[in-house]
């Protein structure tokens, strides 16, 4: 007999005495799932015994014209060919109930795969990423899903994920009428963003083992989240399976209570998941796997305009100008990094300095690789700005100026007896991740900055909505942290764990426990300088309190106070007279870090003292003996 699908859904397991339930020629075996808008059935074709999955709207089209339009739209969507979209077998209708059919062929829905313990993180991320790739392809072709549910995500026997039900949910009249061009485009965009939010909620369900807000219909969850409702959806901390922090940040961003923080496109969310999967795969090389191909193609950073050519010319001159050449190299972080990479590779160190430790000064590097080596490094750099467009190049230039200013501040704050060049380079290396992300992932870097920005409060009198931390924003965009990317590059250059610890900033969310060893003081000095410059980027009213927080973290170990930090941020060192007659700390905040226009002055001040003995990390230790604070 022929039955109403709505009525059939309410009786998924009819009594055997009534015989098999039929929907036209299809025998209804089991209800796969249903929502307010759609339902899915596992069926068998009575003509040939073939099994299918049917997806139907819960509401009949209003009239014959609406039915014809639904059928036409479903057929158009079915022509989209992508591995992340289930191939459509048939578009049909039975008693004015339209349906689409997909081959069952051993596939299981995500709902059938789910357990109360949730899915392993790697499986859930891989499957949803594949589904998002299919959705992104459909969105770019002008189609949306509108009702993505766990039971509409199916997994093949080979472990590949596909999405069913594209364009099955009945659309609103505005979007159906293609003559309303702008309105239809806006609704298509909103529908695509809703699909991305739904995918995030499906991933939340897959990891947690239970649907958010205890609602099985994703549309009901969305209706209770801002801006429609007030419920907050975040992954619980107590889950049966561990959820890595980067993946947790990605999922929580996908369902963030602030609409501006959520992913706007399926491709962006898929990239974040793929980034985490690649970085998490130990056999794939970890975070470095995200960068290896790019490093080979365009290098670590492009050389600043004119600096590499000048260094190459100077390398052809007399060898007595090593100190002047070192100053030129230090003015260009790209050339610094390229020379340090060159000298610290296992091959060079094994051949030239067997048994010696890593090299962390440019003068020592020049002595090891020679003038010809300097020239090769300079000529190996990509010309400015590499593959970047004008806006991204300007942002990288601003970041380089900021990083060089950090190096200057670190030199001004360093304890007595420590090599200024070593301190400067350690401060630069602590920003390697930021520089690499801005150069190799400029669009993602822009997303990270936007996620870190606070937003005005929704209502007067309420506090502003805070932005994400840099680490959380990087997790949500790249799937790994900026710090880990910098560490991966440094490890790729041949640095050992001792140096990797040295060039890792002290975490902001923990209190640094500082000793008086040379390595700890060098790391603390560079970390303090980074936090000082970060503090000067705060709104004017918050700068002094931010600097006072830095004093609380490092003041005792480095013997610095608020006045010293304010002067260092301005590129000045406190004088003996100021030590003898300390002035009251200025109420006005320290100025912001020098931008590109001020970079030459900052760089000149940052050039290390030429009289200090050239050496690697060991020299800084040797000089610190007996002069340690």
Residue range 69-98, pLDDT digits in tens: 999 999 999 999 999 999 999 999 998 899
Residue 275 has pLDDT above 60, yes or no: yes
What is the pLDDT at residue 33? 95
**Lowest pLDDT segment from 141-150, 245-254, 349-358, 507-516:** 349-358
What is the pLDDT at residue 113? 94
Cβ neighbours of residue 334 under 8 Å, at least 6 residues apart? 299, 300, 301, 302, 303, 304, 308, 381
What is the pLDDT at residue 607? 37
What is the pLDDT at residue 8? 47
More confident of the two residues 131 and 518: 131
What is the pLDDT at residue 580? 53
Count CB atoms within 10 A of the CB of residue 351.
9
Helices within 103-237 (DSSP H only): 110-113, 121-140, 173-176, 181-208, 218-224
Could you tell me the pLDDT band of residue 5, with boundaries at 50, 70 and 90? low
Residue 122 has pLDDT above 90, yes or no: yes
Residue 174 has pLDDT above 90, yes or no: no
> To which CATH superfamily is domain 108-290 assigned?
Transferase(Phosphotransferase) domain 1 (1.10.510.10)
**Lowest pLDDT segment from 285-289, 294-298, 336-340:** 285-289
- For 245, the enclosing helix (H) or strand (E) is helix 245-254
Dig out the tokens for 563 from the structure. 């006045």
The predicted model gives 20-35 an average pLDDT of 93
Q: What percent of the chain is modeled with pLDDT above 90?
A: 58
Residue 297 has pLDDT above 80, yes or no: yes
Residue 347 has pLDDT above 60, yes or no: no
What is the residue extent of each domain of the chain? 5-103, 108-290, 307-450+468-575+586-624
What is the pLDDT at residue 252? 95
The predicted model gives 106-123 an average pLDDT of 94
> To which CATH superfamily is domain 307-450+468-575+586-624 assigned?
Hypothetical protein af1432 (1.10.3210.10)
pTM for the structure as a whole: 0.80
Residue 139 has pLDDT above 80, yes or no: yes
Residue 306 has pLDDT above 80, yes or no: yes
Dig out the tokens for 459 from the structure. 């209502």
The predicted model gives 451-480 an average pLDDT of 83
Strands 88-94 and 51-57, sheet pairing: unpaired
* pLDDT tens track for 483-541: 999 998 988 888 888 889 999 999 988 888 877 788 999 999 999 999 999 999 988 99
What is the pLDDT at residue 467? 84
What is the pLDDT at residue 323? 79
Distance set, CA 18 to CA 15, 84, 401 (Å):
6, 39, 79
> To which CATH superfamily is domain 5-103 assigned?
Phosphorylase Kinase; domain 1 (3.30.200.20)
Say if CB 616 and CB 357 are below 8 A apart: yes
* pLDDT tens track for 215-266: 999 999 999 999 999 999 999 999 999 999 999 999 999 999 999 899 999 9
What is the pLDDT at residue 372? 85
Cβ neighbours of residue 591 under 8 Å, at least 6 residues apart? 536, 569, 570
Say if CB 57 and CB 36 are below 8 A apart: no
Which CB contacts under 8 angstroms, 24+ apart, belong to 593-596?
A: 593/401, 593/402, 593/405, 593/406, 593/533, 593/536, 593/537, 593/569, 594/401, 594/402, 594/405, 595/398, 595/401, 596/394, 596/397, 596/398, 596/401
Dig out the tokens for 450 from the structure. 């936007």
Same fold? 5-103, 108-290: no
Rounded to whole angstroms, the Cα distance separating 41 from 26 reads 10
Rounded to whole angstroms, the Cα distance separating 340 from 424 reads 14
Rounded to whole angstroms, the Cα distance separating 564 from 586 reads 11
Rounded to whole angstroms, the Cα distance separating 468 from 545 reads 20
What is the pLDDT at residue 582? 52
């Amino acid at each position: 007999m022929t039955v109403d699908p709505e009525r059939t859904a309410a009786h998924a397991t009819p009594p055997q005495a009534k015989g098999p339930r039929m929907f036209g020629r299809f025998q209804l075996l089991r209800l796969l799932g249903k929502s307010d808008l759609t339902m899915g059935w596992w069926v068998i074709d009575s003509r040939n015994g073939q099994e299918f999955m049917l997806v139907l709207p819960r509401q009949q089209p209003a009239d014959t014209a609406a039915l014809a339009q639904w059928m036409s739209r479903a057929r158009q969507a079915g022509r989209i060919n992508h591995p992340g979209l289930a191939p459509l077998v048939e578009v049909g209708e039975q008693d004015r109930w339209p349906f689409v059919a997909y081959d069952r062929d051993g596939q299981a829905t995500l709902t059938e795969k789910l357990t109360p313990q949730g899915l392993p993180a790697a499986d859930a991320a891989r499957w949803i990423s594949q589904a998002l790739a299919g959705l992104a392809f459909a969105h770019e072709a002008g189609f949306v899903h509108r009702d993505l549910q766990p039971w509409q995500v199916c997994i093949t026997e080979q472990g590949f994920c596909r999405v069913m039900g594209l364009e099955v949910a009945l659309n609103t009249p505005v979007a159906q009428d293609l003559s309303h061009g702008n309105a239809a485009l806006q609704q298509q965009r909103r529908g695509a963003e809703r699909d991305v939010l739904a995918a995030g909620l499906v991933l939340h369900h897959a990891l947690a083992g239970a649907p958010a807000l205890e609602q099985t219909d994703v549309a009901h969850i969305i209706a209770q989240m801002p801006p429609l409702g007030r419920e907050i959806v975040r992954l619980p901390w107590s889950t049966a399976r561990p959820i890595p922090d980067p993946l947790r940040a990605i999922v929580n961003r996908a369902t963030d209570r602030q609409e501006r923080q959520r992913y706007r496109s399926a491709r962006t969310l898929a990239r974040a998941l793929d980034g985490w999967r690649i970085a998490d795969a130990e056999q794939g090389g970890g975070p470095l796997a995200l960068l290896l191909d790019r490093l080979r193609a365009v290098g670590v950073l492009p050389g600043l305009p004119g600096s590499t050519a000048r260094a190459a010319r100077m390398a052809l001159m007399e060898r007595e100008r090593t100190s002047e050449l070192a100053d030129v190299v230090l003015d260009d972080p790209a050339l610094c990094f390229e020379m340090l990479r060159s000298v610290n590779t296992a091959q060079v160190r094994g051949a030239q300095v067997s048994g010696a430790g890593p090299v962390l000064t440019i003068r020592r590097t020049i002595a090891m690789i020679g003038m010809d080596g300097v020239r090769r490094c300079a000529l190996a750099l990509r010309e400015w700005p590499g593959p970047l467009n004008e806006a991204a190049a300007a942002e990288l230039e601003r970041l380089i100026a900021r990083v060089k200013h950090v190096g200057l501040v670190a030199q001004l704050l360093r304890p007595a007896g420590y090599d200024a060049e070593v301190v400067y380079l350690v401060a630069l290396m602590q920003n390697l991740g930021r520089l690499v992300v801005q150069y190799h992932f400029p669009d993602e870097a822009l997303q990270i900055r936007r996620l870190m920005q606070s937003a005005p409060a929704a209502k007067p009198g309420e506090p502003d909505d805070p932005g994400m931390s840099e680490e959380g924003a990087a997790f949500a965009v790249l799937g790994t942290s900026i710090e880990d990317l910098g560490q991966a590059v440094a490890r790729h250059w041949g640095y050992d764990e001792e140096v990797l610890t040295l060039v890792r900033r002290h975490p902001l969310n923990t209190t640094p426990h500082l000793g008086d060893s040379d390595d700890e003081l060098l790391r603390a000095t560079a970390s303090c300088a980074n936090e000082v410059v970060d503090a000067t980027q705060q709104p004017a009213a918050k700068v002094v309190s931010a600097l006072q927080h830095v004093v609380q973290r490092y003041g005792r170990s480095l013997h610095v106070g608020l006045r010293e930090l304010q002067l260092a941020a301005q590129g000045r060192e406190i004088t003996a007279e100021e030590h003898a007659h300390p002035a009251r700390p200025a109420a006005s905040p320290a100025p912001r870090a020098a931008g590109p226009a001020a970079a030459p002055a900052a760089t000149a001040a940052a050039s290390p003292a030429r009289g200090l003995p050239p050496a690697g990390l060991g020299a800084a230790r040797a000089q610190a003996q007996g002069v340690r604070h």
